[in-house]
Amino acid sequence: MERDKKLQVLAHGMALIFTVCVLLPLLILISSSFTDDKVLLREGYNIFPRAFSLDAYTYLFDAGSSILRSYGISILLMVLGTTISLLITTPLAYVISRPRLTLRGPLTFMVFFTMLFHGGLVPTYVNYVNVFHLKNTFWALLIPNLLMPAIYVLLMKNYFQASVPNELLEAASIDGAGEFRCFLSVAVPLAKPIIATVALFVGMGYWNDWQNGYIYLSKRTDLYSIQTLLNAMMRNIQFLSENQMDMSSSAQAISEIPSTSVRMAIAFLGILPILVIYPLVQKNIVKGITLGAVKG
Amino acid sequence: MKKRSKIRRELPIYLMALPGVIYLIINNYMPLPGLVLAFKQYSAKRGIWGSAWAGLDNFKYLFATQDAWVITRNTVLYNAVFILLNTALGITYAILLSSMKAKKAGNFYRGVMLLPYMISSVILSYLVYAFLGVESGLINKMIIEPLGGEAISWYAEQKYWPFILVIVNCWKSVGYQMVIYYSSITGIDDSYYEAAIVDGATSWQQITKITLPLLKPTITMLVLLSVGRIFNSDFGLFYQVPMNSGALFPVTNTIDTYVYRGLIELGTITKSAAAGFFQSLVGFVLILSANSLVRRFDRENALF
């Protein structure tokens, strides 16, 4: 019993250390967004705001039309991306879950092979830019992420196989339901949990994506999502610190960089939806991770 | 003939797969011929197909420079350390949290530990910058300066970055690993532990004699699969967190960041293409080998 107590103490101690390590940076981020910018510059970041101020937020909502627009683009992108992604992923997964289908093997392989071999950035970029002319369009943010990674298709396929009995589909078919009807009114309702889980991961992927904006939007800064905007600001700071001598070009860059507290406020707004939604959907996320890891 | 008529009968169901299939063709299969770029002298005017062949010249240039060695070493070594630490810490935390009697606290800890996994690497770079910024960063301002030390310009000093990247990666990924192992542990039949307790086994003995042996298949599988992906680096971590700082490239450049910079920033497309081709090919071989090893241990969990 004595040993067991030690284990409990150890467990709580180690878990607390990690918890502090996770929460501390987030706390600093939030507190600095509520700190007066001059104090922030003079005294540095801190865990609690030394001089409480809402300036960063009033600035954002007053003058920050580009920031609000970025927020809007992030939301639009997430909603549209998740919807379209589910609309193409779910039926594909359903089809390759059906037994006795002649082309089932080739179709499954087509999905599966993408997990083994990937062309990489260069061919993908050339394809989207030269063939489909996605550069500097909204589609460049949406399209490259629709069905990736293929593991979600396979997870859904496994779920359909395990929880939609074939007899049920055959019975519906005998009752005169067409293939599409079977899918929509028999299979989809039974697969709701996995659809929700995949939706969550795809939605999170869209919300957090900054790479597509960075790679494909070289001119259209008006299409920046919140993550791409944050990325661009960080790049400007880096540019400044590496080219301090070159005052003429840095003067312009300075004017484009919002103050530290404003940047922190934008970053906070960037994780806010995740912080709000996460506690509600933690179970689904854990389920998605375990399913995905064990089969992929 | 019979097969063809069967396919025709099945046509409505294939129609449902069509959008997905078209997407896979556009996103995954159409780029594949573009891999020949690695063997071409690219000229933007002539396009991929019109450009002259370069044979293996692009690879020769790539491997003649120090770059090829540096990016391969960085990618593989960092990943190896990540796999080792994430696995060890993931298992440790999974065991500790699953043995916790206070279930509510356990749930809370698990939730918090998984949180970093959901934060984008851009925001991650902001968090790291709050600690490492030269003028207002927390470490310089709160620790080094009060102790009378001189402020360190973190983003210009290579020697710290192997540690910083490893710490940041742990921060981000240990929770994810922990969740997988945790669910594996909760799947273990309670009767094993009950029998052990009756026999007077200590907590430590229960961990080493029951939990760890029963976790072995999961550990083997996860480690092998991550070894199969050892040639792919976390682009966000290596690009964003060091803020693309040129002074740090020798210790932060990986295959993915190298390919990206060549393609977008430097315009050395063919070198990027060669490095990317190298990555795709070695990655393919590695994942096939990893899978055949997994199959040998545990058929159930192999990818195929």
In whole angstroms, what is the distance from residue B218 CA to residue B224 CA? 10
Domain range spanning residue B241? 60-301
Residue B14: is its pLDDT beyond 60? Answer: yes
The number of domains in chain B is: 1
Mean pLDDT of all residues in B35-64: 79
What is the per-residue pLDDT across B109-159, written as a single tens digit (0 to 9) for each? 999 999 999 999 999 998 998 888 877 788 888 888 888 888 888 888 889
Nearest-CA distance B228 → chain A (Å): 10
Given this model, what pLDDT does residue B182 score? 92
Contact yes or no for B276 and A18 at CB 8 A: no
Asked if the Cβ–Cβ distance from A179 to B121 is below 8 Å, we say: no
**What single string gives the DSSP state of each residue in chain B?**
-HHHHHHHHTHHHHHHHHHHHHHHIIIIITTGGGGGGGGEE--TTTHHHHSEE-TTHHHHHHHHSHHHHHHHHHHHHHHHHHHHHHHHHHHHHHHHHHT-S-HHHHHHHHHHHHGGGGS-HHHHHHHHHHHH-TTT-HIIIIIITTTTPPPP-GGG-GGGHHHHHHHHHHHHHHHHHHHHHHHHHHTS-HHHHHHHHHTT--HHHHIIIIIHHHHHHHHHHHHHHHHHTTT---HHHHHHTTTT-GGGHHHH--HHHHHHIIIIII--HHHHHHHHHHHHHHHHHHHHHHHHHHHHH-GGGS--
Residue of B13, B205, B303 to mutate when probing chain A, most A C-beta within 10 A: B13
Is B97 a member of any domain? yes
CA proximity to A35, closest of A51, A46, A57: A51
Pick from B130, B283, B301: CB nearest A29: B130
Please list, in sequence order, all residues whose beta carbon lies within 8 angstroms of the beta carbon of residue A219, skipping any fewer than 6 positions away.
A136
Domain map (residue ranges) of chain A: 1-53, 61-294
CB contact under 8 A, A124 and B27: yes
Subunit contact B264:A215, Cβ cutoff 8 A:
yes
Hey, what CATH class is A61-294 in?
A: mainly alpha
Give pLDDT tens digits for B1-10. Answer: 577 787 787 8
Express each pLDDT in B240-298 by its tens digit.
Answer: 888 888 888 888 899 899 888 888 888 778 888 888 898 999 989 988 888 888 888 77
Confidence of residue B97 (pLDDT cuts 50, 70, 90): very high
The pLDDT assigned to A244 comes to 55
Which of B118, B183, B288 lies closest to A274 in CB terms? B118
CATH number for B214: 1.10.3720.10
In a domain, B282, yes or no: yes
A264 near B CB under 8 A: yes
Say what the pLDDT of residue A257 is. Answer: 63
One digit per residue, the tens of pLDDT, for chain A of length 296 reads 456 788 889 999 999 999 999 999 999 999 888 888 778 777 778 788 778 888 888 877 776 667 888 889 999 999 999 999 999 999 999 999 888 888 888 998 888 888 888 888 888 888 888 888 889 899 988 898 787 678 888 888 888 988 888 888 888 888 888 888 888 888 899 989 889 889 988 999 999 999 898 989 888 888 889 899 888 888 777 766 665 545 455 555 555 566 788 888 888 988 998 999 888 888 888 888 888 776 54
- Inside any domain, residue B46: no
Q: How far is B103 from chain A (nearest CA, A)?
A: 11
Residue B20 to residue A204, Cβ atoms within 8 A:
no
Å from A62 to nearest chain B CA? 23
Q: Closest chain B residue to A291 measured between Cα atoms?
A: B180
B124: closest CA of chain A, how far (Å) = 9
Q: How confident is the model at residue B164 (pLDDT cuts 50, 70, 90)?
A: very high
Is residue B48 domain-resident? no
Which one has a higher pLDDT value, B85 or B57? Answer: B85
**Contact assignment for B27 to A294 by CB distance below 8 Å:** no
